[in-house]
């Protein structure tokens, strides 16, 4: 059943000040196809009649104050019970009318404007007899419009203690968060099932039958998603936007979900028809001509950028420097002003101060001299006196596009610049010798795009993984014009990119949803998006009166929706860095399932690896086939290991295992058709293994053929199944790890980290 859109719009037109009164909220729920308690509304000053009460079947009724400013009615005595008689109901209404204004004034003492308790009337409701199962008896379902992602559904525990309980539960057990534009009805059961109350309500529990059908909960949540999709800021078919709509709580009666209390705020949609200009990104990434301003004849930021462009192979004859009273710098011709550029350049690098940026941009637009611009300048919109610069530049761009002029797309401001391998340039203002040890050796050209809101974050990751050479590395800064989603949408079809690594601090309005949609599209193409989302502080609880926002803060929303879209969301910088590196190493491997094989020569590692198989994403221990068991037995017999250990998964092959025996056993496990992936963890201190670099203190040499490291490299090249290696050891074994990594073998320094990575990797969409 679809929601009754016409009836809902009629209710919204009756709303005063953008807020629905509770009887209107009940009408909204009915129009959504959700059953409500029987109710009627009595305006203030009117008397209840016997005929009114005959519509309520319960012996008791619930009386609620109706006021546009009293949201949490229980705090001011705004919810009372009465016998279902005219005299008792009228008595309670009179008492509430007399007492609530004073109690509301006392309750709102801390409010700056101290609103008056404007009572419009009273809602008389059926007293619903509901299932009291203790924990989980009350459920919150809310819908709110977020600045970055548009409408977001929140489902979790309800009642007065919703925040208290949510803070004390594991995150995905506390609330489920979903976007109507990223999930469909059939996706909901998998999102709802982890909730702490779900099994208790939908399964038999301690001799009691299930009180709620999973389909019933799914259906109600689906109707909220329908509502959010229709009445959103991105919808062209209505002028109404639901800012927040919360029912807290829903209770269970007769197998149905009944709303007991609800609030709803709406607004009018503001239309913005300007389309995103991201097609112009091609001029940024692969320009044929470059202009630059802000280059001193002495070494300054502009001059460093010019040198970096030239050092990456961009031809000097295709570069023009805007520099008065100079003929050439570093072999590049100079012109005195922007208007003197002989023709429009594909890319213009603006390195002057923030205060000068608008004037230069105005010349570029007025004289139509650039197809794209990188604004390096820091402080735009952040330094005192530059508050309006962003808006002025945005207005300038909008005006140029509206007038049909050649108007550049803009990357920045406050950015570090871009690196483009196909474009043969680097506009970052960090000299290469400050990033890498020169000359660079063993560089791997990867199908990787790094897109980072912070330039410093971008170059620090590149410095920490110096052997990885991305196709593009983009520092986008303040996103004055081009946004994170623009780059993803432009690059998603590129055959040159398989992995997108993104650092995001925040999204412009609506761009979070655009970004998530782009992620979903990219993942559907078999590619991977890795995200580190910073800016995780809880949003101010005073910003809204609903519980929905307080239990689903900004970071929680971002992570949930990006994961639903298919992104791998890193919890910390270390995870981002190691995941990025190992995603690239595993390129070309085939994920056939989540059945894992584990092997170590240390018993404690077998236990710890097993401890980390399950969390939000699960790995299942594979059951070795009889053929594999026999093969392992033959491998272990010559050293007598079969007499020390039984064969099972995880396999503790003991410190007795030599390089050959350990690696043959690992190969046998990977060859098992019932094994989809593996963690291989050789503790290198075993005297039976050749794991040390050559030294006068011993006879080992891990570089010799037949060493564990060399055998694992060959095994990695041979198998199509993903596996990772853990080398838990001190500095003397660093050459062992480096040999593996230099040959593209994913390597961790702790076995639990290895399992956690593989858990996320294997369970990607």
- Residue 540: pLDDT above 50? no
Q: What is the pLDDT of residue 132?
A: 87
- Residue 493: pLDDT above 50? yes
pLDDT in tens, 21-54: 989 999 999 999 999 999 999 999 899 999 999 9
Contacts of 462 by beta carbon, 8 Å cutoff, 6+ apart: 435, 450, 468, 470, 473
Question: Do both 473 and 358 map to the same domain?
Answer: no
Least confident of 109-113, 390-394, 478-482: 109-113
- Residue 135: pLDDT above 60? yes
- Residue 551: pLDDT above 50? no
Angle between helices 511-524 and 554-565 (to 10 degrees): 30
Find out whether 53 and 61 touch, Cβ atoms under 8 Å: yes
> CATH number for the domain including 450?
3.40.50.261
pLDDT in tens, 384-398: 666 688 889 999 999
Give the residue among 415, 421, 507 at the shortest CA–CA distance from 456: 415
- Residue 285: pLDDT above 60? yes
Residue entry with tokens 């910390």: 572
Give me Rg for the CA atoms of the chain.
Answer: 32
Question: Do both 434 and 561 map to the same domain?
Answer: yes
In DSSP terms, 667 is beta-bridged to: none
3-state SS assignment for residue 726: strand
Q: What is the pLDDT of residue 196?
A: 86
Number of domains composing the chain:
5
Q: What is the pLDDT of residue 115?
A: 56
- Residue 492: pLDDT above 70? yes
- Chain center to CA of 487: 16
Q: What is the pLDDT of residue 211?
A: 93
Least confident of 169-173, 736-740, 753-757: 169-173
In DSSP terms, 495 is beta-bridged to: none
Give the residue among 196, 163, 195 at the shortest CA–CA distance from 178: 195
Rounded distance between C-alpha atoms, residue 754 and residue 320, angstroms:
50
How are strands ordered across the β-sheet holding 332-335? 328-329, 332-335, 319-322, 290-293, 347-350, 372-375, 409-412
- Chain center to CA of 741: 29
Q: Computed from CA positions of residues 316, 322, 327, 329, in that sequence, does the dihedral angle turn out positive or negative?
A: negative
Task: Please give the share of the chain, as a percent, with pLDDT higher than 70.
Answer: 92
- Residue 112: pLDDT above 60? no
In DSSP terms, 188 is beta-bridged to: none
Decide if 44 is inside a domain: yes
* N-terminal to C-terminal alpha carbon distance within the chain: 30
Give the residue among 55, 16, 9 at the shortest CA–CA distance from 32: 9
Decide if 47 is inside a domain: yes
Structure token pair of residue 277: 């200009």
Question: Do both 449 and 564 map to the same domain?
Answer: yes
- Residue 547: pLDDT above 60? no
Rounded distance between C-alpha atoms, residue 430 and residue 58, angstroms:
75
What integer is the mean pLDDT of 202-220? 91
- Residue 549: pLDDT above 80? no
Question: Do both 306 and 435 map to the same domain?
Answer: no
Question: Do both 471 and 539 map to the same domain?
Answer: yes
Cis before 470? omega within 30 = no
Question: Do both 592 and 705 map to the same domain?
Answer: yes
3-state SS assignment for residue 529: strand
Decide if 131 is inside a domain: no
pLDDT in tens, 353-394: 888 999 999 999 999 999 999 999 766 755 566 668 888 999
- Residue 103: pLDDT above 50? yes
Angle between helices 389-402 and 354-366 (to 10 degrees): 10
In DSSP terms, 561 is beta-bridged to: none
Decide if 30 is inside a domain: no
Rounded distance between C-alpha atoms, residue 604 and residue 602, angstroms:
6
Rounded distance between C-alpha atoms, residue 201 and residue 442, angstroms:
57
Chosen domain end from 92, 126, 160: 126
pLDDT in tens, 59-72: 999 999 998 888 77
Decide if 298 is inside a domain: yes
- Chain center to CA of 497: 20
Q: Sort 348 into a burial class: Cβ within 10 Å, 0-12 / 13-18 / 19+.
A: buried
Decide if 32 is inside a domain: no
Structure token pair of residue 512: 């979070």
Give the residue among 454, 563, 449 at the shortest CA–CA distance from 515: 563
| DSSP symbols for 278-319 | GGGHHHHHS-S-EEEE---SSS-HHHHHHHHHHHTT--GGGE
Find out whether 154 and 176 touch, Cβ atoms under 8 Å: yes
Question: Do both 404 and 434 map to the same domain?
Answer: no
Find out whether 513 and 538 touch, Cβ atoms under 8 Å: no
- Residue 453: pLDDT above 60? yes
pLDDT in tens, 392-418: 999 999 999 999 999 999 999 889 999
Question: Do both 255 and 283 map to the same domain?
Answer: no
pLDDT in tens, 572-629: 999 999 999 999 999 999 999 999 999 999 999 999 999 999 876 789 999 999 999 9
pLDDT band (50, 70, 90) for residue 236: confident
Rounded distance between C-alpha atoms, residue 458 and residue 460, angstroms:
6
pLDDT band (50, 70, 90) for residue 137: confident
Contacts of 98 by beta carbon, 8 Å cutoff, 6+ apart: none
- Residue 669: pLDDT above 90? yes
- Residue 486: pLDDT above 80? yes
pLDDT band (50, 70, 90) for residue 293: very high
Q: What is the pLDDT of residue 307?
A: 94
- Residue 168: pLDDT above 60? no
Q: What is the pLDDT of residue 641?
A: 87
Burial per residue of 597-610, b for 16 or more beta-carbon CB atoms within 10 angstroms, e otherwise: bbbbbbeebbebbb
- Residue 163: pLDDT above 70? no
Structure token pair of residue 91: 């008595």
3-state SS assignment for residue 469: strand
3-state SS assignment for residue 665: helix
Q: What is the pLDDT of residue 116?
A: 62
Decide if 9 is inside a domain: no
Question: Do both 552 and 453 map to the same domain?
Answer: yes
Rounded distance between C-alpha atoms, residue 289 and residue 302, angstroms:
17
Rounded distance between C-alpha atoms, residue 597 and residue 535, angstroms:
37
Task: Give 143 or 536, the one with higher predicted confidence.
Answer: 143
Q: Which of 541-550, 588-597, 640-649 has the highest mean pLDDT?
A: 588-597
**For residue 183, which phi and psi values (nearest 5 degrees)?**
-125, 150
3-state SS assignment for residue 645: coil
Find out whether 503 and 457 touch, Cβ atoms under 8 Å: yes
Q: Could you tell me the pTM of the whole model?
A: 0.89
> CATH number for the domain including 189?
3.30.470.20
3-state SS assignment for residue 41: strand
Question: Do both 245 and 166 map to the same domain?
Answer: yes
Q: Average pLDDT of the chain?
A: 90
Strands 417-420 and 425-426: antiparallel
Chosen domain end from 104, 126, 148: 126
Range of the domain at 687: 588-762
Rounded distance between C-alpha atoms, residue 10 and residue 310, angstroms:
64
- Residue 139: pLDDT above 70? yes
Task: Please give the share of the chain, as a percent, with pLDDT higher than 90.
Answer: 72
Chosen domain end from 268, 296, 314: 268
Cis before 413? omega within 30 = yes
Contacts of 459 by beta carbon, 8 Å cutoff, 6+ apart: 416, 428, 430, 435
Question: Do both 384 and 434 map to the same domain?
Answer: no
Question: Do both 117 and 47 map to the same domain?
Answer: yes
Q: What is the pLDDT of residue 536?
A: 65
> CATH number for the domain including 297?
3.40.50.720
Decide if 403 is inside a domain: yes
- Residue 191: pLDDT above 60? yes
What integer is the mean pLDDT of 98-118? 72
3-state SS assignment for residue 412: strand
3-state SS assignment for residue 179: coil
């Amino acid at each position: 059943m679809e929601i009754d859109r016409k009836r809902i719009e009629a209710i919204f037109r009756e709303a005063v000040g953008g807020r629905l009164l509770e009887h209107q909220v009940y009408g909204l729920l009915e129009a959504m196809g959700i059953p409500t308690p029987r109710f009627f509304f009595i305006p203030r000053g009117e008397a209840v009649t016997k005929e009114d009460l005959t519509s309520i079947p319960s012996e008791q009724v619930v009386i609620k104050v109706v006021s546009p400013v009293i949201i949490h009615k229980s705090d001011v005595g705004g919810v009372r019970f009465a016998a279902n008689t005219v005299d008792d109901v009228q008595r309670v209404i009179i008492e509430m009318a007399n007492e609530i204004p004073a109690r509301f004034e006392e309750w709102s003492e801390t409010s700056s404007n101290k609103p008056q308790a404007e009572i419009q009337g009273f809602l008389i409701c059926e007293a619903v007899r509901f299932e009291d199962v203790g924990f989980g008896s009350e459920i919150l379902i809310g819908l709110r419009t977020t600045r970055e992602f548009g409408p977001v559904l929140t489902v979790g525990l309800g009642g007065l203690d919703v925040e208290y309980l949510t803070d004390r539960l594991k995150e995905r057990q506390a609330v489920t968060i979903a976007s109507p534009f990223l999930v469909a009805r059939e996706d909901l059961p998998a999102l709802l099932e982890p909730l702490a109350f779900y099994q208790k309500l939908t399964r038999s529990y301690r001799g009691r039958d299930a009180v709620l059908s999973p389909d019933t909960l799914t259906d109600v949540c689906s109707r909220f998603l329908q509502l959010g999709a229709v009445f959103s800021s991105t919808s062209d078919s209505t002028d109404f936007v639901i800012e927040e709509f919360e029912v807290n709580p829903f209770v269970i009666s007769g197998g149905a979900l009944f709303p007991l209390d609800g609030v709803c705020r709406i607004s009018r949609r503001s239309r913005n028809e300007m389309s995103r200009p991201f097609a112009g990104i091609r001029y940024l990434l692969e320009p044929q001509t470059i202009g630059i301003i802000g280059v001193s004849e002495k070494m300054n930021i502009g001059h460093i950028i010019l040198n970096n462009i030239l050092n990456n192979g961009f031809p000097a004859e295709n570069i023009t420097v805007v520099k008065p009273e100079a003929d050439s710098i570093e072999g590049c011709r100079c012109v005195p002003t922007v208007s003197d550029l002989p023709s429009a350049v594909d890319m213009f690098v603006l390195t002057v101060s923030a205060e000068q940026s608008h004037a230069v941009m105005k010349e570029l637009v007025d004289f139509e001299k650039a197809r794209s611009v990188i604004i390096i300048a820091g402080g735009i919109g952040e330094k005192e006196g530059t508050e309006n610069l962003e808006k002025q530049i945005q207005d300038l761009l909008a005006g140029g596009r509206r007038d049909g002029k050649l108007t550049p797309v803009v990357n920045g401001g406050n950015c570090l610049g871009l690196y483009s391998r196909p474009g043969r340039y680097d506009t970052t203002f960090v000299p290469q010798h400050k990033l890498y040890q020169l000359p660079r050796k063993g560089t791997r050209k990867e199908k990787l795009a790094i897109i980072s809101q912070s330039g410093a974050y971008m170059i620090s990751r590149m410095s920490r993984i110096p052997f990885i050479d991305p196709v593009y590395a983009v520092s986008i800064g303040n996103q004055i014009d081009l946004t994170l989603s623009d780059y993803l949408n432009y690059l998603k079809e590129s055959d040159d990119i398989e992995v997108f690594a993104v650092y995001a601090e925040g999204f412009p309005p609506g761009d979070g949803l655009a970004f998530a949609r782009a992620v979903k599209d990219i993942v559907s193409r078999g590619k991977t998006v890795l995200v580190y989302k910073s800016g995780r502080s809880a949003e101010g609880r005073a910003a809204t009166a609903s519980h929905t926002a307080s239990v689903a803060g900004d970071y929680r929303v971002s992570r949930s929706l990006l994961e639903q879209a298919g992104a791998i969301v890193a919890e910390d910088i270390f995870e981002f860095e190691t995941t990025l590196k190992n995603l690239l190493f595993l390129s070309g491997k085939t994920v056939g399932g989540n059945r894992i094989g584990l092997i170590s020569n240390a018993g404690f590692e077998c236990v710890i690896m097993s401890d980390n198989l399950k969390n939000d994403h699960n790995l299942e221990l594979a059951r070795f086939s009889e053929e594999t068991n026999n093969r392992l037995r033959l491998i272990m017999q010559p050293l007598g290991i079969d007499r020390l250990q039984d064969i099972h998964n995880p396999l503790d092959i003991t410190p007795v295992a030599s390089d050959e025996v350990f690696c043959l056993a690992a190969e046998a496990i990977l060859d098992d058709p019932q094994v989809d992936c593996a963690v291989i963890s050789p503790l290198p201190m075993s005297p039976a293994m050749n794991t040390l670099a050559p030294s006068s203190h011993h006879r080992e040499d891990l570089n010799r053929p037949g060493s564990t490291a060399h055998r694992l490299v060959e095994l990695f090249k041979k198998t199509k199944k993903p596996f990772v290696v853990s080398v838990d050891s001190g500095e003397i074994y660093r050459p062992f790890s480096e040999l593996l990594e230099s040959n593209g073998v994913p390597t961790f320094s702790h076995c639990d980290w290895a399992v956690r990575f593989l858990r996320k990797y294997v369970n990607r969409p």
